[in-house]
């Protein structure tokens, strides 16, 4: 099995959400929030993680997996390898390999997800 998903977001959609903890806690994990809110411009980091979650959900849909919610996906930085990693927090889909690529510039964030099995 193999699937691809992508997503693009305007970063300014997240500018007013930085202090809306009710909203943030519905979408992001504590690890994600700790990372993003520690940055000087947290909106771009929130936006790109949201893109990653959406791209993963789109790829999962291509595999007929429709029961994973945005807040069940976690995007973290692998400090040793210096790249983002993604995981689905429930163990139901441990057999899936998820690879993501994140990018952001001044006003736009985007992400691509590839999901495959061995």
- What does 70-114 look like in DSSP terms, one character per residue? GGGEEEEEETTTTEEEEEESSGGGTT-EEEEEEEE-SSEEEEEEE
Give the whole-angstrom CA distance, residue 81 versus residue 90: 24
* Residue set of the binding site: 7, 54
* Residue set of the binding site for Mg(2+): 7, 54
φ, ψ dihedrals at 80, nearest 5°: -70, -40
């Amino acid at each position: 099995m193999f699937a691809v998903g992508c997503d693009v977001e305007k970063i300014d959609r997240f500018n007013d959400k930085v202090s809306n903890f009710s909203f943030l806690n519905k979408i992001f994990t504590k690890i994600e929030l700790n990372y993003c809110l520690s940055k000087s411009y947290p909106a771009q980091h929130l936006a790109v993680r949201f893109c990653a979650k959406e791209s993963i959900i789109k790829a999962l849909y291509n595999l007929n997996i429709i029961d994973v919610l945005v807040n069940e996906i976690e995007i973290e930085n692998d400090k040793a390898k210096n790249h983002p990693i993604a995981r689905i927090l429930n163990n139901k889909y441990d057999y899936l390999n998820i690879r993501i690529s994140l990018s952001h510039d001044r006003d736009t964030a985007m992400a691509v997800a590839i999901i495959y099995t061995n």
